Each structure stands twice: as structure tokens, then as C-alpha cells.
Structure 1
Amino acid sequence: MTLLRDEGLTAGELALWRTLQRAQVRITRHLEGELLDAHDLPLASYEVLARLAEASGRRLRMNDLADRVLLSRSGLTRLIDRLQRDGLVTREACADDARGLYAVLSDSGAARLAEATPTYLRGIRTQFLDLLGAAEIAQARTMLASLDPEAASQHA
């Protein structure tokens, strides 16, 4: 196929890329289904609650949170609206920036996160980590960290 030659990819390299994409989608769908079935909590909502729980004071500026959960600003705003309606987060004005807002994890949100976390972690284990040995996990971490320096600095 000339497309592969023209772009410098072998058929095997392209197959690896496509397999990685399919695996990520399948794992994500599994996690989403488990969280929805057991906790009525979409995966994106879980990720937002988890990032807030990890943050100092259980709060993050909306822009920083959007970057961490890989959502657009408008997508995060809609998600925070739903989480706020459900009492899982609140919004606070930024004292040093009149236009800035913080998303803040509520006590109810922290409790919901605590309930859902075992389901989330079990899904990661069964759908991904159990398929790898310790050396493969270390190698994958090293490789993926080179693609995401922010993640590497958070988990070094």
C-alpha cells in the first residue's frame, strides 16, 4: 500500500496503532458501563471528582481541571453544571481573578467518589493491568511518560 510507504509506516506499525486505539476505547467503555451500572456515575464525572479529590483543598481552577480531564472548556462547564445540580461539586469565585472560577469537590462528591473508586480500580485491573507483567508495566509507563511529560512529573 503506497499510503504506508509514503508516510514511513509499516503495516505492522499501523496495526499496532489501531489496536492501541481499539483497546483504549474498549477499556473506557467497560469502565463507563461498570460505573454507570453500579454507581450511576459516568466515567467523565468520575474523572472530574477524582482530580478534584487529588488537588490541594479539593479544588481546581476550571481551566486546569479541563486540561487534566482532557475536556474542552465548554464540555467541562456542562459537566460541572450537572455535577453541581447533583450536589457533587460547587463553584467558587477566584479571589485574585474576577473572571476565574474554581470547581470544588463537595463532601457528597467525595463520598460518591469513595463508593465508586473500588469499581473503577477493579476495572482497570481486570481490563488492563492483569494482562501485563511487572516488567511490561514498567516499560509501558516509561514509554507513555515520554509522550505525556505532565503525567511523568506527577508519578515519578
Structure 2
Amino acid sequence: MKEITITSKINVFESIQELTQLEQDLMKKAIEVRKNAYAPYSKFRVGAAILLNNGEIIIGSNQENAAYPSGLCAERVAIFHAGALYPEAAILQIAISAASDNNPTTIPVPPCGACRQSISEYEVRQNSPIKIYYMGETGEIHQSDSLKNLLPFMFDNKLL
């Protein structure tokens, strides 16, 4: 038997003020668009803002549906919109903010598994890492230099 050790590097910022101005602006857009989430079932609102290498910022919020699998997370709304509008642009950074209507969300909320897989597709496709910043409603912000820190065994087209 052989053992594999996996390590991930996540940077922790105590508050949004510790981020650069560009990163603060991106996170503020994620916070603002979170308010547009359509979340009548989960009462859990998520906003995402994506910075592309052409300078464009694409936003998205989660959109639920009574047929639960038919909804879409904020990250995928934004990433698919970016891919549709600017198919040749590379994604540099994603900022994500999540909040519950029921309870304070004070810990960082990372992308779900489906969103991680979608982000990995773009990271592999563009052959460059995507910085990911995520937070709750308030509190610390976590930052990863690549999706590989959040999904170390990525499933991609090399496996097909």
C-alpha cells in the first residue's frame, strides 16, 4: 500500500479591508449581487463576481427552482455567463459571498462540489489558475490561488 498526502494552501484575511482595492471591489460586487438571489426555498443567498483578463467583471447570483435540481448556483451563473459573453477571455479571480435569511453567516462559504467542477473546467481550459475568494455575510475571507486547493483530484478532459 502507498499513502498520498494532500495539502492545500488557503490564505485567511480577517476582514475585507485586508484585501487589495481591486479584491475589495470584486468582493463588494459579489455582496451586492447576492441581494438579487432568487432563494425562496433555501433562504440561502449567494453572489459571485468574476474578473476576466480583459478587465470585464461578470456577476451572478443563485437562482432556485421548485424542481430543486433545476436551479443554479451563483458561481455557475457567473462563470457560464462569462463563457458565453467572452469565450476567449481567461478568468483571473472569483469572489463569492453567501448569507442566510435565517441565521448569521459568519464563516467563509466555499463553492459547492458542482461549482468546483465547473470552475475546474475553466481553469484546465485556460491552462492558468483562478484565484478564489470566499466569505460568509461577514467575517473572515478565505483565498485560494487555484481551484486545485479546493478540489485536489480534479476530473477533467484528460481522463476521458
How high is the TM-score relative to the length of structure 2?
0.26
Tell me which protein shows more helix as a share of its residues.
Answer: 1
- The structure that has the greater radius of gyration is 1
Which structure has more relative contact order (CA 8 Å, sep 6+)? It is 2
Tell me which protein shows more strand as a share of its residues.
Answer: 2
How high is the TM-score relative to the length of structure 1?
0.26
